Amino acid sequence: MTNTNEVRVRFAPSPTGMLHIGGARTAIDNWAFARANGGKFILRIEDTDPTRSTEENTQIILRAMRWLGLDWDEGPEVGGEYGPYTQMQRMDTYTAALETLKKRGAVYPCFCTKEELDAKRAAAEQSGEKYTGYDRSCRNLSAEEAQARIDAGEEHVWRLKVPENHGPIEFDDAVYGHMSFPADVMDDMILVRSDGSPTYNFAVVCDDTNMRITHVIRGDDHLSNTPRQILIYEALGFPVPTFAHLSMILGADGKKLSKRHGATSVEEYRDRGYLPDALVNFLALLGWSLDGETTIIPRDVLAREFSLDRITKKDAVFDETKLDWMNGQYIKDMGADAWVQAARPWLIEAGATEEDIDARPEWYAKLYPLVAERLVRMDEIPGKLAYMFWGPKVELDEKSVAKVLQKEGARAEEALRAARQIIADESIPWECDPLQDAVRALTETLDMKAKFLFQPIRVAVCGNMVSPPLFESIELLTREDVLARFDATLAAAF
């Protein structure tokens, strides 16, 4: 049934919460592999857990995928030839597959209750024997007895009849290489529960087959599921796709990435000011490399060059310091116009308004050079640029006041009063270089080191002795506001 002429891959999250970093890495690898091979990237929602799957969580996942820029060719909101793309809407396909297995004699009804199975497990453990799974006690029921019990309304599940004397279950994993699992340790797994719902392994095989999936790229926590799924493929007579299992993502402490390491969901990283291109680049490099050296890999290069043969079996380490550096590189290279649009929520937090950003985009674009080299994350914008939105007021940092303005012998008040006269001189163009040159000339007039002249001005204008470039900032403010800040600082500090 698989169309081998076209690569078809899928990302199939369960809508039980946020899209976590591990899932996002899997989605990126699938997306990139499809794009690099001119194939199709399918998004499928696996919502068969009614207690945890919600429409709200589905929307969270879709929103995260859109933010990451992982466009899907088939799936929710897009449609496609092999839909629906949520499992709860595909129940008829699982029913049809079960009927096929019944006709082939590949399944049987099991009437053992949970209590009976638990008791058998407990007895095996108590006797010191290793519990090897379901003992197949219902496998040899006659067809007549089984049907009579079904007709009588007795609760039952449907189990796969694993062929006796089946040789090792073998497959060639695109990452792990040749894999072999003994079939005799596989118990007759449940395919359909007593309420008629499919189990995970059964639904996945049906969906992947019906959606013509050629490559299953997923986390290696699914590696143990693969031999079970291959048995189901064989029972149904379906071709087995190529499997590629991705290594685990570890925290810096060498343990599986979890909440104890900090943010774990895509939206948390978005809200902390990481750019989608930077996060995609970073996650793609967790277990994959372009050439073993290149770190900054634009999205179009990833979509052109991604291949399964460059995925490593070695567990990947999530190094947030590296992510910060990478995000800073993307900010530095993104350009002013893109920065203004991406920075909106943090500019508004700093004191801007939506209306003003729309009315004066060119002014906001001039803020970008002030911070482009200084930002690691976009959520640092309010801390670095709030002073640009104070108007005539200034919020003085106490430590800066003590260390710069009130330092004994620093002559800060003298420096500020002299600089104020320069700033007030309307014959000097209100531009960075002329203003800076005129103020710098005071170092000779006052016989003062530049440091002791410029630091008090910086505190008076920006509120802090550490800020983006001073006179580039002053040029973007009004003369009236800058003079008002000088006056407010002189009144407050001396």
Please list the active-site residues.
259
User: Of 334, 317, 219, 337, nearest to 274 (Cα)?
Assistant: 334
DSSP notation for 377-419: SGGGHHHHHGGGG-TT-----HHHIIIIIS-TT--HHHHHHHH
E strand or H helix that includes residue 215: strand 215-219
Task: Give the integer Cα–Cα distance in Å for 217 and 85.
Answer: 18
Q: Is 133 helix (H, G, I), strand (E, B) or coil?
A: coil
Q: Residue type for 201, please?
A: N
DSSP notation for 425-486: -TTS-SSHHHHHHHHHTHHHHTT--HHHHHHHHHHHHHSSSS-S-HHHHHHHS-HHHHHHHH
Task: Give the integer Cα–Cα distance in Å for 398 and 463.
Answer: 9
Task: Give the integer Cα–Cα distance in Å for 388 and 473.
Answer: 8
Q: What is the CB neighbour count within 10 angstroms for residue 219?
A: 16
| CA distances to 33, 81, 269, 493 from 286, in Å | 15, 33, 16, 52
